[in-house]
Amino acid sequence: MISRLKKYWEEQPLVLIMLLSVIFRMIAVIFAKGWGMFDDHFIVIESSGSWTAGHDYNDWLPGSKLNHGPTGHNFFYPGLHYLLFSLLNLTGVSDPQVKMLIVRFLHGCLSLITVWVGYRLAEQLEGKKVARITGLLLAILWFMPWMSVRNLVEMTSIPFLMLAYWMMLGDRKRKSLFLSFFVAGFFFGLAFNIRPQTVFFPLGAGIVILFQKKWRELIALTLGSVFMVVLIQGGIDYFIWGKPFAEMLAYVDVCFTERNDYISLPWYNYFLTIGGLLIPPVSLFLMYGFARKWKKYLIIFVPVMLFFIFHSYFPNKQERFILPMIPFLILVGVSGWEEFVNCSTFWKKHRVLLHSCWIFFWVINTILLVVFSFTYSKKARVEAMTYLSKYSDIKAIAVVDEHNDPELMPKFYLNQWPLCYSEISKDLSADSILATAALPCYQPPRFILFTGDKNIRPLVEKARVYFPRLVYETTIEPGFIDRFVHWLNPVNKNRRIFIYRNAALIPEETIKD
């Protein structure tokens, strides 16, 4: 069996690579519920889910009470989810968990493009050996399956960037360079419409083509990119606001005026991020290999470096921001490193050391791959809302946290819009209750969710002063990884959730069938 697998790996590696890609992405589709970061749920899912119910959760749309104009949010990607959820509603699919299973499945399928194109590009540019390593890394690098099924614009834009490079570098059957580069621009434009910062890829590629004096290719690439941006970005904004690029201009303004309002980290932070994500020492091998091949792959190197320099300069730094460049770093990095090893006297004499480095990489990677592919992220918050969804006409809930820093609950899984959502300070005084009562939508809470890891009984007793018929329902525990991440850094608010029902307003007999 092992000898046959080795033979098949030598003769048909792409089949095995794609099989591994499908297996681990489907595992993530089924088991990796929840969300990873704030944006992939509350910016994408909460907004589009509320729109299908005739509500505007984020107050983005003109006509919403709290909206005063464009807020700088891209409607294209959430809009696609709105269309999907509307279609699912029409077909009778109303369960939020089933909807998200379908969303994860579609994203997982889309991410397979990255693996296939990455392998094919590497094979055509550098041969089968480099392609095997490149494809395997893109398929089962520990975070790729888990990230691929998330609603992260950084990950969703990658397949379109890869297709753009396939049209420029890998499509050997093309009959027209002009058409190939126009289609490449088309894909660059799609990526930009999902994640605007990917503009550095067509910009960098265009600069290289300009200095190479390939005028037809430059014109075609520009026309394809501009066409898609004007059609989608400009068209959507014109439809909603009556003027093109209204949201894009607001987004640029927000990015620069609020650039210090989020996570500000030093300029070298992304060196550390990449070094950790790709697991040292192999991460160092790939970074060196990428730098080594800069001249041969200038059309990849320049865009990646522009993208990297911008994010390193910009104060707001989050790990996910750098994800679009990772497949290209791997593609060129593997090629450069393999070339270096083949001509290095040191590595020829220390083959055991080199093999040990790769064995260490694959052991750590496999452990993380298995753990994360099964990880249900933000489990307590999702399951709390799923639990409450069995009640009808909830109307209002309140959240109280032992640290006075309540977790934001995902209303999408409650599947009841609109919902009056209030956060009550932990002193639970008359003033704190009155403060939430000042909300325009305020109603007495049907449920109060207490979040914390310590004894929350004192909080419950305080709450009973104002809501005397509170009845304990259940406790929702966070997942293992959530608990571990919270232990590493308490800033990650993954705490137990204790659900209490206000029996004065929600008697048990109102539970849905």
Residue 156, C-beta contacts closer than 8 angstroms, at least 6 positions apart: 77, 107, 110, 194, 195
Q: What is the pLDDT of residues 120-166, one digit of tens each?
A: 999 999 999 999 999 999 999 999 999 999 999 999 999 999 999 99
Cα–Cα distance between 72 and 43 in angstroms, integer? 12
Cα–Cα distance between 34 and 96 in angstroms, integer? 11
Mean pLDDT by 10 residues, the chain (513 residues): 80 94 98 92 95 92 87 93 97 96 98 97 94 97 97 97 95 77 97 96 97 96 97 94 92 77 78 95 97 96 97 88 97 97 93 96 97 95 95 91 87 92 84 78 89 87 91 92 76 85 83 55
Distances (CA, A) of 339 to 292, 293, 344: 9, 9, 9
Structure tokens at 223: 């026309």
Residue 94, C-beta contacts closer than 8 angstroms, at least 6 positions apart: 88, 415
CA angle 234, 222, 109 (to 5 degrees): 70
Structure tokens at 70: 């464009």
Give 110-145 as a DSSP string.
Answer: HHHHHHHHHHHHHHHHH-HHHHHHHHHHHHH-TTHH
Q: Where are the beta strands (DSSP E) in 150-286?
A: none
Q: What is the pTM of this model?
A: 0.94
Q: What is the pLDDT of residues 339-390, one digit of tens each?
A: 999 999 999 999 999 999 999 999 999 999 999 999 999 999 999 999 999 9
Residue 210, C-beta contacts closer than 8 angstroms, at least 6 positions apart: 218
On whether the CB atoms of residues 484 and 435 are closer than 8 A, the answer is no
Domain ranges of the chain: 13-156, 172-257, 379-510
On whether the CB atoms of residues 141 and 278 are closer than 8 A, the answer is yes
The amino acid at 411: K
Beta strand pairing call for 447-451 and 470-476: unpaired
